Structure 1
């Protein structure tokens, strides 16, 4: 028997899922070891797998890159830019995300100004050379950087996406004078238009490259040491997977690898249930993520920001121009800290207690009240059955800290204070979901909500009620769903070329040559990774002439350019609910997504549940109006067609589903729980 394993490192917990042909046969969850992240992975694999040699495939996702960028724990970095353009990282786009805020804050650039250098060279927009590269300057600078302890260099010259010769020559010169310097070229990391985003992405990629490569090699060694033969595959942010070598070369591509797995799992379960459109809601220990699934697949974007100063305001973070599953992430999770602000109002997050020290109820040194503490006080969590009984929660400590820090300052009783924290989080997530969906032309009230993550099912029905959603689906193994989703992903990679042209002037031979070049790269990359059959999707990024941003449109060979304009118009209307101005249409970027076959997996939960009544007993749980006697069920003993009326609590080892009064839950054949709020 062969096994497939998914492992996801989150901000608080590290999750594991094991599949064979019969379905999910084992799941695991442990606290993340931040000082040495691969150690928790190794511990889970050893404790869960009786025979590691049976593992045929291991897919891994991590928050390492995101955390390194936010915490600024990367390499000491320099930037080489075309003369006159070294300050593009700081000037940004001169866009104010809050127009009237005179004290507006922005993230500090990854490269301080004294390490940004003007290199004498200039390539024009058509690729011609106006000013040859000053190689002597580059050689002197490279030697000085190495002498001063600089570890990495990002090279971003004007129009290098059209002609990369100068950037490539810089790498050759630096290799001669400073061979230990890591060098990243924008023409390889993100070969497309927009100077600020291209510079920011290239800098971010090489900033975390050393850290990521050391981590991935450590992981690879640990996996082989315990007896797993195949090398790990790494989850990419766009929903594909790649080899360790590819992920180490382009670490910025794994920025959102964990959340991408959850979105893929939502798509897979939606397909089983015949739901092609839904809202995926993932709430873990540190953050909550919301993603739209449309036509059976997660939406993908090429505009993403890290380290936002204000979590819901675009333009307040570091831009990263790589394909990423399109989601909104907010700093509310089980470990998010609740406090009373200067105005005397309750706030929750975005800072989190994480796993070290964790919520107060973990008994690991936490001193501030968190969402998990509140959920425990409300009776939603069983202090003796957290992580299936592997951790015992301290209910008295949770009560005391919420009473002292929240209830007494607000002048309310303990239960009201705890429920205030719980409801505050639900409203925060509902507001974020509403904004995210409406900006993409969707009505969240019309979409079923797929909820997962360790804390997602506890809050899912409350969020759905705030949104007016008609249905909530909690899948089996909800607490490790991102790890499950990893195993549904194909090997895949995205490629892009910028070639701006109006639709009326399109030459298919020229465009086809661009596509053929990218598809050839995709074939080489994936076949070197062991993929036999590679398929390609062609995409055009289009806009009305004069507009500043573009939308993605699939390219149908043999039916264009007429079909391209029709498809663009339809996509524009769906997004903005109107047609655009009566002007010409142009294409800015051409993209190819190269993919291997999609794995065929059985997602049915096949964990031993025992026999007997699914009802375990009851306990007091708080809902608006007071504590009520609430039935508690063992989720593993529920059967297809079972119907449960709220109030009720359904427990599994890694998560808990809370069904409030008035809601009804039924069990599907695939073991998913469907709640009508």
Structure 2
């Protein structure tokens, strides 16, 4: 990096910024998210952070941005008025879904409403068979008439999802061309371009979701560019993708569904980078912000990636209750507990926390912005873990009295306990919820969480990290420098990258390598074209394989060597690592072929600026630890004055501007060479 790099992450409560130059982290910032105009918080945060650090926005040579805009638009149903064109007889696939109940014996299950109502879903006369041959030709006149009518009736976007278009996209392309000709105002998305792979419901759901948010994403990205250039930032921003790569604004605007989980991906990248530097390539990355908590596994120095994801889960966050999207995303478990999550007593008289959040408007009661509900931040403040005068480095003074009143009225009095016990109940409830979710997530992926260090970040992550680790059995908690804005920092470690897929089902032993190689070459050419102008584009080949008769696949790297025996052997190794056994003596088949095209990851220093000289001990304050009998006088340290090699004994609190690390009694904390705090619990 020759100039200045900036990472910007818009969350549900705060917008985080991190500034790097060749020497490392030179400035960080955190401002409240402006939900009415998200780009406004970005511009205000940049101007404020650069002014405080004495930096010039004209020196920025790269800005990478991640946002929750797409996720929020899908959950809140704030996208375009969208229609669906499907093969005759298949317009109801969005409501038929997978034709099974995700909870077989629960009569109260809920499903999200389809993004396209039934009166805007249309049967188009056409049919292509599974092998790509045309059974019924496309009725082009029908498509033209329908396009004119949709335009006249105020429809803004159209998703075209024909049967078997991933094998033969001819009819979709022709329908798209007709719609563009007769109704150029309409935004048109073709499933063969957005997600050209097998599984009808998921393909349709993903294509609809992409075009549903496309106008919103384009307008937001244009506003962001305008504001950045107005500040004097010369380069156009890059946008973080959900799987850990970055893309240009043009690519993100065409495929906005690819930025669905862009923020959490940045944190996982940064955690993996710090872990690799410390010789820990296998770890848990735990991110707790203002609205949600996320945890993902990092294996061999890279976050795990999945191609199955659900948005807007309606029923107890259960799989199957949301809108599925088939795009590459960082594989993580996400639960609705964050600093702003609201605590309440449920109908059974039990304490529950989340998934609803006070967000930034009005925010927790202690923010003094009109919030009256008790939240996790209110509880942490009452327990003494947060300094009311040093929140955001003193940029926001917290109201202790308001937090106490909210917890007393809504939690303590109904349960008949003290305010401190109620606050501790909120704190530990959150820790247990996250530990339980993390345990299931890790075990399902063949990992033992008790053997992995946990890297914690986000504004609330370091406060809860040790508690979650103890509940989980993890041996060590690591809080990297700039932990409160680590996702923004992680953006600057990401390469330009994009993922391509083709469905071509076949038994492995029946494959022709020449045909497979041609398929890979086609996708690699697309990747090279998309990343044109970038140096050192490389391609990683992947096969999605299964035993014949199975319903789901595992991803297997495709390497050189003898063919196809090598592919079968590699599949067996991957399968055994996941399930601790091999499958039955049946044929092995490939369903999808993938290529990940990317540029080299940038070489950046993740160290903070030089540690300030002076005594790191700021003083002490009472903090609540039940194992010690309640409140005990606890030493408070300034993280910016702790040199590498420093050691602390719990109980202790380490403060930085954007987050606070709690070291509980019985634990010890060591400052690593990269300025990370390692808490041995």
Same fold (TM over 0.5): yes
Q: SS at 1:379's partner residue?
A: coil
Are residues 1:650 and 2:654 paired? yes
Structure 1 residue runs without a partner (length 5+): none
Are residues 1:663 and 2:667 paired? yes
Q: SS at 1:279's partner residue?
A: strand
Name the counterpart of 2:264: 259
Are residues 1:573 and 2:576 paired? yes
Mapped to 1, the partners of 2:486 and 2:559 lie a distance apart of 34
Name the counterpart of 1:439: 444
User: Which residue of 460, 466, 470 corresponds with 1:465?
Assistant: 470
User: Which residue of 283, 296, 301 corresponds with 2:301?
Assistant: 296
Name the counterpart of 1:92: 97
CA displacement 1:48-82 (0-9 Å, x = unmatched): 22311100100000000000000000000100000
User: Which residue of 186, 190, 210 corresponds with 1:185?
Assistant: 190
Matches for 1:455-534 after TM superposition, within 5 Å: 455-527=460-532, 530-534=533-537
Deviates more, 1:510-519 or 1:96-105: 96-105
Are residues 1:617 and 2:622 paired? no
CA displacement 1:528-556 (0-9 Å, x = unmatched): xx302100000000000000100000001
Q: Is the 8 A contact 2:651 2:663 kept in 1?
A: yes
Mapped to 2, the partners of 1:626 and 1:176 lie a distance apart of 72
Mapped to 2, the partners of 1:124 and 1:98 lie a distance apart of 33
Name the counterpart of 1:549: 552
Mapped to 2, the partners of 1:269 and 1:520 lie a distance apart of 33
Mapped to 1, the partners of 2:220 and 2:679 lie a distance apart of 41
Name the counterpart of 2:60: 55
Q: CA deviation at 1:148?
A: 0.9
CA displacement 1:260-311 (0-9 Å, x = unmatched): 0000001100111000100000000000000000010000000000001135
Structure 2 residue runs without a partner (length 5+): none
Name the counterpart of 1:18: 19
Q: CA deviation at 1:312?
A: 4.3
Q: SS at 1:105's partner residue?
A: coil
Matches for 1:128-527 after TM superposition, within 5 Å: 128-527=133-532
User: Which residue of 612, 633, 636 corresponds with 1:632?
Assistant: 636
Q: SS at 1:260's partner residue?
A: helix
Matches for 1:576-587 after TM superposition, within 5 Å: 576-587=579-590
Q: CA deviation at 1:558?
A: 2.9
Mapped to 2, the partners of 1:5 and 1:572 lie a distance apart of 40
Q: SS at 2:634's partner residue?
A: strand
Mapped to 1, the partners of 2:124 and 2:527 lie a distance apart of 33
Q: Is the 8 A contact 2:33 2:360 kept in 1?
A: yes
C-alpha RMSD of the superposition: 0.8
Q: CA deviation at 1:615?
A: 0.5
CA displacement 1:8-41 (0-9 Å, x = unmatched): 0000000000001110000000000000000010
Q: CA deviation at 1:367?
A: 1.1
Mapped to 2, the partners of 1:582 and 1:208 lie a distance apart of 46
Mapped to 2, the partners of 1:666 and 1:532 lie a distance apart of 40
Q: Is the 8 A contact 1:95 1:315 kept in 2?
A: no
Q: CA deviation at 1:469?
A: 0.6
Count residues in correspondence: 674
CA displacement 1:567-620 (0-9 Å, x = unmatched): 11111111111111111100000000000111000000116x532210100000
CA displacement 1:301-334 (0-9 Å, x = unmatched): 0000000113542111100000000001100000
Mapped to 2, the partners of 1:57 and 1:175 lie a distance apart of 35
User: Which residue of 102, 110, 127 corresponds with 1:105?
Assistant: 110
Are residues 1:120 and 2:125 paired? yes
Q: CA deviation at 1:136?
A: 1.0
CA displacement 1:617-659 (0-9 Å, x = unmatched): 0000101131111110000000111110111100000000011
Q: Is the 8 A contact 2:111 2:315 kept in 1?
A: no
Mapped to 2, the partners of 1:103 and 1:113 lie a distance apart of 23
Q: Scaled by the length of structure 2, what TM-score is found? A: 0.98
Q: Is the 8 A contact 2:109 2:315 kept in 1?
A: no
Q: CA deviation at 1:199?
A: 0.1
Name the counterpart of 2:38: 37
Mapped to 2, the partners of 1:356 and 1:534 lie a distance apart of 43
Q: Is the 8 A contact 1:480 1:654 kept in 2?
A: yes
Which runs of at least 4 in structure 1 moved beyond 6 Å after TM superposition? Answer: none
Mapped to 2, the partners of 1:437 and 1:96 lie a distance apart of 25
Q: SS at 2:531's partner residue?
A: helix
Q: Scaled by the length of structure 1, what TM-score is found? A: 0.99
Q: SS at 1:490's partner residue?
A: coil
Q: SS at 1:328's partner residue?
A: strand
CA displacement 1:167-214 (0-9 Å, x = unmatched): 111111111221100000000000000000000000000000000000
Mapped to 2, the partners of 1:311 and 1:212 lie a distance apart of 29
User: Which residue of 603, 606, 619 corresponds with 1:603?
Assistant: 606
